[in-house]
A and B are shown apart, each in its own frame.
Chain A
Amino acid sequence: MKNNVDVVDIVNAIKQEIREENISIGSQYLATKYYKKRISVYREQKEIVIFGAGNYGVTLYRMLGKEEISQKVKCFCDNNKLLQNTECEGMPVFSAEEAYRKFPNAMFVITPRSYENEILKQLLQMGISIEKISIFIMALTGLEN
């Protein structure tokens, strides 16, 4: 029997239909209100520094890519000296101090799980205003799995 099904074509047609319907990323992935609110805040920023070059930082960067705002991300920063002056997702990784020197007007988005309070304190002590600091909790986005 002739095989008249090509699943790649079927899935591509589904993707095309979704593009044409212009469904938001939040709706496509059933993101929570928390996620949508965070993304709308990040969309308003000119520059973003992602604090944490680990799994959560990378995931956030990719999420921002899907939202078409990853160009706002100027760098990652991390307290782990082994990661400083390396690259993550093609972006430079600096210490927090270095990132702040280079991008003083950026919003710092804290991603590491468990250490957010310590990092918040660290950034405030560096002189970054609270309005320019955001804590991004992956578990509240509905997208972690």
Chain B
Amino acid sequence: MRREKVVFVICRYGIDVNGGAEDQCRALAERLLPYYEIEVLTSCSRGFPWDNYYEEGVSVVNGVQVRRFPVEGSRSYESLEQLNADRLAGKEGAEEAWVREFGPFCPKLIQYLDENRNQYKIVVPFTYVFYPTVASLRLGLKNTLFVPHAHDQAYIYRPIFKEVFQGAKTILFNTPEEQELVYRLFDVGKKPYEMTCMGMDMPEYDSWEMPEKFAHYNNYVVYVGRVGYTKTFAELNKYFIEYKKKNPSDLKLLVIGRINNQYTITFHDDIEYLGFVSAEEKYKLIRNAKFLIQPSRNESLSIVLLESMALGRPVLANARCEVLKGQCIRSNAGLYYRSYAEFEMAIDYLLNNPKEYQTMCDNGKRFVRENYNWDKVIKNVVSLIERTGEGDRKS
């Protein structure tokens, strides 16, 4: 029997795409293959500024059919500022224009979805702020399962998102903090939902020793993620340099991840940029670190935080992100900071209290094992897909 078709809509997709939501989308799409025929509609872009890195058309990524559409135009911050001013001035169409400018603007993707809407059991738009998600949720589909990845940033307060969230039939949240934010801002409390759409399967290696090329690092903390302004990386950079100035030692900060095109790096002897590394290298670098630092203010989950906990390494997270703080508290496997002073004292605590440190290592492993189990997650997601696909899907 032909399996029912589920389509994911996301701004970018691929094995070498660097991003938590994108990783989560790919993991979920691949995990759902035994249950449904999965297709992904996405742009040809790999990252900012929006490019057309991948070829237009259909390809298969780890068994998932991916249909890519070209990005038309690229984001201009000057235009976004002007559109903000237009909106405040009450100019008609400014909000729609802002979404197009924010991008990636792929009108052909939306046209394709609109023309083929009836072949899909459900549509799963990922991450609320991007054009493909916004436009697909405004098509008036009755079978949309929305994975918003919402966090408390300025964009979410824009008026257009009231309509966007209303476009969902069901919602998949990552954390209670995300759900709380969405319920506070939008009248969606009656929509069916599930919590947690990510499982963690950590690999087992014969040896967890550091890869040879990194073997000279033995006393370090680690950052994993995009290196750019959006992840509050500049603040971490500044804080770590100050920490080392006040606390001289051989402790280093290893930075793993692609550097955004528009980001200007501040170099320092104790900060090493390793760039994009393989998954195995990443896991081993985390496992051999003292702890992981997650400085981002804008997270709706943070997979890397869970990876670190699963590998038995505590985290130090930015408390201005309610999700990260909540995850630290729920797991008892991480500390959080709001200022440099707290950052410094939290590092000292983690480095100088071995008994508590070890307990936090153990707590993290247990937290991930109990809460981010794929079998449990897929059962919940399939149940929500079925509820989303019930009834008339035509509009």
By a beta-carbon cutoff of 8 Å, the part of chain A in contact with chain B is 1, 3-8, 10-11, 14-15, 17-18, 23, 27-30, 55, 80, 82, 114, 142, 145
Residues B88 and A10 in contact, CB atoms below 8 Å apart = no
Q: Does B373 contact A (CB under 8 A)?
A: no
Residues B328 and A18 in contact, CB atoms below 8 Å apart = no
Residues A7 and B332 in contact, CB atoms below 8 Å apart = yes
Residue among A7, A10, A18 having the largest count of chain B Cβ atoms under 10 Å: A7
The complex places the Cα of A142 from the Cα of B238 at a distance, in Å, of: 9
The complex places the Cα of A17 from the Cα of B342 at a distance, in Å, of: 10
Sample of 14 A–B contacts (CB below 8 Å): A10-B335, A10-B356, A11-B319, A11-B335, A11-B336, A11-B346, A17-B345, A27-B341, A28-B339, A28-B340, A29-B339, A30-B340, A80-B89, A82-B88
Task: Find residues 180-194 in chain B having any chain A CB closer than 8 Å to their own CB.
Answer: none
Q: A15-B342, A28-B339, A114-B81 are in contact. Are A8 and B349 (CB under 8 A)?
A: no
The complex places the Cα of A3 from the Cα of B366 at a distance, in Å, of: 11
Q: Does B234 contact A (CB under 8 A)?
A: yes
| Shortest Cβ-Cβ A-B pairs, 10 listed | A28-B341, A28-B339, A14-B345, A5-B359, A145-B235, A30-B340, A18-B341, A29-B339, A5-B356, A145-B234
Residues A5 and B238 in contact, CB atoms below 8 Å apart = no
Q: A7-B332, A7-B335 are in contact. Are A23 and B234 (CB under 8 A)?
A: no
The complex places the Cα of A55 from the Cα of B335 at a distance, in Å, of: 28
Tell me, rounded to whole Å, the shortest Cβ–Cβ distance linking A63 to chain B.
12
Residues of the B chain whose Cβ atoms lie less than 8 Å from the Cβ of A10 = 335, 349, 356
Residues A5 and B346 in contact, CB atoms below 8 Å apart = no
Residues A145 and B332 in contact, CB atoms below 8 Å apart = no
Residues B359 and A145 in contact, CB atoms below 8 Å apart = no
Residues A145 and B229 in contact, CB atoms below 8 Å apart = yes
| Nearest B-chain residue to A78, judged by Cβ | B88
Report the count of interface residues on B (CB-CB < 8 A).
33
The complex places the Cα of A10 from the Cα of B334 at a distance, in Å, of: 10
Residues of the B chain whose Cβ atoms lie less than 8 Å from the Cβ of A15 = 342
Q: A11-B335, A80-B88 are in contact. Are A23 and B341 (CB under 8 A)?
A: yes
Residues of the A chain whose Cβ atoms lie less than 8 Å from the Cβ of B356 = 4-5, 10
Further 9 A-B residue pairs, CB within 8 A, beyond A10-B335, A80-B88: A6-B332, A7-B332, A14-B335, A27-B340, A28-B339, A30-B340, A82-B88, A82-B90, A145-B229
| Nearest B-chain residue to A24, judged by Cβ | B341
Residues B345 and A145 in contact, CB atoms below 8 Å apart = no
Q: A3-B332, A30-B238, A30-B239 are in contact. Are A11 and B342 (CB under 8 A)?
A: yes
Q: Does B360 contact A (CB under 8 A)?
A: yes
Tell me, rounded to whole Å, the shortest Cβ–Cβ distance linking B343 to chain A.
9
Q: Does B363 contact A (CB under 8 A)?
A: yes
Tell me, rounded to whole Å, the shortest Cβ–Cβ distance linking A129 to chain B.
29
| Nearest B-chain residue to A5, judged by Cβ | B359
Residues B349 and A30 in contact, CB atoms below 8 Å apart = no
| Nearest A-chain residue to B360, judged by Cβ | A5
| Nearest A-chain residue to B89, judged by Cβ | A80
The complex places the Cα of A55 from the Cα of B88 at a distance, in Å, of: 13
Tell me, rounded to whole Å, the shortest Cβ–Cβ distance linking A90 to chain B.
17
Residues of the B chain whose Cβ atoms lie less than 8 Å from the Cβ of A18 = 339, 341-342, 345
| Nearest B-chain residue to A1, judged by Cβ | B362
| Nearest B-chain residue to A30, judged by Cβ | B340
The complex places the Cα of A63 from the Cα of B340 at a distance, in Å, of: 15
Q: A3-B359, A8-B329 are in contact. Are A14 and B239 (CB under 8 A)?
A: no
The complex places the Cα of A18 from the Cα of B154 at a distance, in Å, of: 30
Residues B332 and A14 in contact, CB atoms below 8 Å apart = no
Residues A4 and B336 in contact, CB atoms below 8 Å apart = no
Residues of the B chain whose Cβ atoms lie less than 8 Å from the Cβ of A14 = 335, 342, 345-346, 349
Residues of the A chain whose Cβ atoms lie less than 8 Å from the Cβ of B345 = 14, 17-18
The complex places the Cα of A82 from the Cα of B341 at a distance, in Å, of: 40
Residues of the A chain whose Cβ atoms lie less than 8 Å from the Cβ of B335 = 7, 10-11, 14
Q: Does B270 contact A (CB under 8 A)?
A: no
The complex places the Cα of A145 from the Cα of B239 at a distance, in Å, of: 12
Residues of the A chain whose Cβ atoms lie less than 8 Å from the Cβ of B89 = 80
The complex places the Cα of A80 from the Cα of B319 at a distance, in Å, of: 33
The complex places the Cα of A100 from the Cα of B136 at a distance, in Å, of: 47
The complex places the Cα of A5 from the Cα of B319 at a distance, in Å, of: 18
Residues of the B chain whose Cβ atoms lie less than 8 Å from the Cβ of A82 = 88, 90
Q: Does B380 contact A (CB under 8 A)?
A: no
Q: Does B390 contact A (CB under 8 A)?
A: no
Residues of the A chain whose Cβ atoms lie less than 8 Å from the Cβ of B52 = none
Residue among A5, A17, A18 having the largest count of chain B Cβ atoms under 10 Å: A5
Tell me, rounded to whole Å, the shortest Cβ–Cβ distance linking A19 to chain B.
10
Tell me, rounded to whole Å, the shortest Cβ–Cβ distance linking A110 to chain B.
16
The complex places the Cα of A8 from the Cα of B328 at a distance, in Å, of: 9
Q: Does B232 contact A (CB under 8 A)?
A: yes
Q: Does B242 contact A (CB under 8 A)?
A: yes
Contact of B328 among A4, A7, A28 (CB under 8 A): A7
